[in-house]
Amino acid sequence: MRHLLSLLIILGLSFSISAESLRGFLLTKDNYQLTGYFNVLSYSPTGNLITFTNDFGDVYSIHPMLVKGFGFSKEGTSFRFVSRFHEGQWFFLHEEFAGRALSLFRLPDGSNNWVDDSMLSLFQNPPPTYYFFYGERRILPVPRAGFRRTLKDFFERRSPALASKIGKRGFRYRNLIEIVEQYNEFKGRSRRRL
């Protein structure tokens, strides 16, 4: 066990040294913003964590349960992550689309050079890639396998017309952002009529 922990620390440090530092901030539980540099997001058996260097040069390994989230900018694009607990693990989830009634978040993957997802392949049950946020901090995982059933059950009472389209052309797994946009548009219209 001690060897595994040592290996994880060495791997984490090696990736944080080689990774590009991105200017950003941490949002604490009491809504303070701490500025500094985001180094790398990596996975662990308890979810994921980030390496963050504050403005004084101190390096910290931050677990999602310790902060509300973090953000940074890269090449003019802003990235925002929130921390959420799901099925015994804490994750930083990237905001793909923010809506009033429904938002779409994504689990970061190795497609970006600031994410180390090599540990993710060791998970016995890998977490879903996408998540819906709705209501008062409610979360719905959207797994690729069985996403049609999951979304039809979710939208059945909220928007029967949208539920009937799930799985058809333009309403597939790759169209999750468009599905979320349509649902928010529908909720916006229904809200104005009242």
Evaluate whether 40 touches 17 at the Cβ level (below 8 Å). no
DSSP letter at 171 equals: -
| Cα 132 to Cα 139: distance, rounded to the nearest angstrom | 6
- Mean pLDDT, residues 180-192: 80
- Mean pLDDT, residues 46-54: 89
The owner of tokens 């009529």 is 193
3-class DSSP string for 105-162: EECCCCCCCCEECHHHHHCCCCCCCEEEEECCCEEEEECCCCHHHHHHHHHHHHCHHH
- Which pLDDT score, from 0 to 100, does residue 5 have? 52
- Which pLDDT score, from 0 to 100, does residue 186 have? 85
Q: What is the mean pLDDT of the chain?
A: 84
Please indicate whether residue 78 or residue 2 has the higher confidence score (pLDDT).
78
Question: Residue 135: which pLDDT band, with cuts at 50, 70 and 90?
Answer: confident
Q: Where are the domains of the chain?
A: 2-142, 144-194
| Cα 166 to Cα 64: distance, rounded to the nearest angstrom | 32
| Cα 34 to Cα 11: distance, rounded to the nearest angstrom | 26
Question: Residue 7: which pLDDT band, with cuts at 50, 70 and 90?
Answer: very low
- Strand, helix or coil at 103? strand
Evaluate whether 108 touches 92 at the Cβ level (below 8 Å). yes
| Cα 85 to Cα 97: distance, rounded to the nearest angstrom | 19
The share of the chain scoring above pLDDT 90, in percent, equals 53
pTM of the predicted structure, to 2 decimals: 0.79
Alpha helices in the chain (DSSP H): 2-18, 147-158, 160-165, 176-193
- Mean pLDDT, residues 56-67: 93
